[in-house]
Amino acid sequence: MRQTKYWNVQNTINEEIRKHALEEAAEWIRKGETIAFPTETVYGLGANALSDTAISRIFVAKGRPSDNPLIVHIANQEQLQDVAKSIPPLAQKIIDAFWPGPITVIVPASSQLATKVTAGLDTVGVRMPSHSVALELIRLAGVPIAAPSANRSGKPSPTQADHVAHDLDGKIAGILDGGVTGVGVESTVVDTTGEHAVLLRPGGISKEQLVELLGGVDEDPALTKANETPKSPGMKYRHYAPSAPVYLVKGDKERLIDKVKAAQKEGKHVGVIATEEHASFFSGADALAVIGSRSQLSTIAHGLYTALRTMDEANVDLIYCETFTREGIGLAIMNRLMKAANGQVI
């Protein structure tokens, strides 16, 4: 165990204090320490992407399998030279359209990178986040920062500093608390090293936005078929999951109401993850998490991981959750829910 330092860098904080905190955190990154910081998607656990000693601390703190490569974060396009060997034209198009923002491009990796960042692959995932704290931290550190989501491996990604503290307090050097993140699910991951762009992980930038930009995009077959091995190593693990089993319930709310009653009749404690529109029907559930409004999918993405974490804390035997359209950000929402549910749709 070690002492984890907390810095409040929310917008309400005095500018001098905020600046001093960011400078201190950046110095620790340069020294090879691990610092959690907010991005517009989820909190990341950052370390110097050029140092293998620093990167190994990320894997230890998270309990992350070493075959799962990290995303490298940069603050300006000049830094791409330290990270990528070359920039395929497809990547440049995506970068010009969506950076800074919630999309990661897979490109050929520079030999300068710590080998643990790429898990031995010859490609690397890189993105420029749009959160001011993330950008300022990278700029002050002066090095690209590798950062997976700042959760214990297998748990839902953190969307607020409390979530990071819950999972990693005593295991990392510091946490920059920038308040609740915006998007709520991770960045879109796109492989740009082949002839066509391939969607490896749906995220903050929608598939429709990519299709509009590029004219089309392939999908990693593993996104829709359970027996395929994903091209993005991280996608093969059960993930984003509370400890009780999660079931996604198809159809209307009446079916979900019946399922809850039936399970309770068998003596089970039932948790429900429901939208604002339907929450009042589940006041009899043993635990209830309200995720957002069906009328605005972005609010569902924003509240998704907090809901999964609430259920992880609740003492329930099983968790039922509503299902959503796969349009827009809905594709990322359903991808994460399917992982949390281990594919169990009833």
Q: Which positions make up the binding site for L-threonine? A: 41, 68, 73, 127, 147, 187
Residue 106 contacts which entry, Mg ion, ligand TXA, none (Cβ below 5-8 A, type-dependent): ligand TXA
Residue 70 contacts which entry, ligand TXA, Mg ion, none (Cβ below 5-8 A, type-dependent): ligand TXA
Site for ligand TXA in 47-76 (CB under 6 A): 68-71
Site for ligand TXA in 212-241 (CB under 6 A): 231-235
CB of 284 to ligand TXA, least distance (A): 36
Q: How distant, in Å, are the alpha carbons of 31, 98, 167, 182, 203 from that of 161?
A: 23, 26, 10, 13, 21
Tell me whether residue 69 or residue 174 sits nearer to Mg ion (CB atom): 69
Residue 147 contacts which entry, Mg ion, ligand TXA, none (Cβ below 5-8 A, type-dependent): ligand TXA
Tell me whether residue 149 or residue 310 sits nearer to Mg ion (CB atom): 149
Q: What is the 3-state secondary structure (H, E, C) of the chain?
A: CCCCEEEECCCCCCHHHHHHHHHHHHHHHHCCCCEEEECCCCEEEEEECCCHHHHHHHHHHHCCCCCCCCEEECCCHHHHHHHECCCCHHHHHHHHHHCCCCEEEEEEECCCCCHHHHCCCCEEEEECCCCHHHHHHHHHHCCCEECCECCCCCCCCCCCHHHHHHHHCCCCCEEEECCCCCCCCCCEEEECCCCCCEEEECCCCCHHHHHHHHCCCEECHHHCCCCCCCCCHHHHCCCCCCCCCEEEECCCHHHHHHHHHHHHHCCCCEEEEECCCCHHHHCCCCEEEECCCCCCHHHHHHHHHHHHHHHHHCCCCEEEEECCCCCCCHHHHHHHHHHHCCCCEC
Question: What is the distance between the alpha carbons of residues 183 and 185, in angstroms, rounded to a whole number?
Answer: 6
Residue 104 contacts which entry, ligand TXA, Mg ion, none (Cβ below 5-8 A, type-dependent): ligand TXA
Tell me whether residue 21 or residue 134 sits nearer to ligand TXA (CB atom): 134
Question: What is the distance between the alpha carbons of residues 261 and 201, in angstroms, rounded to a whole number?
Answer: 35
- Binding track, positions 149-178, relative to ligand TXA; x by CB under 6 A: x-----------------------------
- For position 121 contacting ligand TXA by CB under 6 A, the verdict is yes
Residue 41 contacts which entry, Mg ion, ligand TXA, none (Cβ below 5-8 A, type-dependent): ligand TXA
- For position 41 contacting ligand TXA by CB under 6 A, the verdict is yes
Residue 131 contacts which entry, ligand TXA, Mg ion, none (Cβ below 5-8 A, type-dependent): none
CB of 47 to Mg ion, least distance (A): 15
Tell me whether residue 181 or residue 275 sits nearer to Mg ion (CB atom): 181
By beta carbon distance, the residue nearest ligand TXA is 234
- Of residues 3, 1, 332, 32, the one with CA closest to residue 189: 332
Of 163-171, 183-191, 206-214, 258-266, the segment contacting ligand TXA by CB under 6 A is: 183-191
Among 48, 110, 149, 160, binds Mg ion (CB under 5 A): 149
- Of residues 121, 108, 4, the one with CA closest to residue 57: 4
Among 9, 21, 35, 42, binds ligand TXA (CB under 6 A): 42
Of 36-44, 80-88, 169-177, 279-287, the segment contacting ligand TXA by CB under 6 A is: 36-44
**Residue ranges binding ligand TXA (CB under 6 A):** 39, 41-42, 44, 68-71, 102, 104, 106, 118, 121, 123-125, 129, 147-149, 186-187, 189, 200-201, 231-235
**Residue ranges binding Mg ion (CB under 5 A):** 149
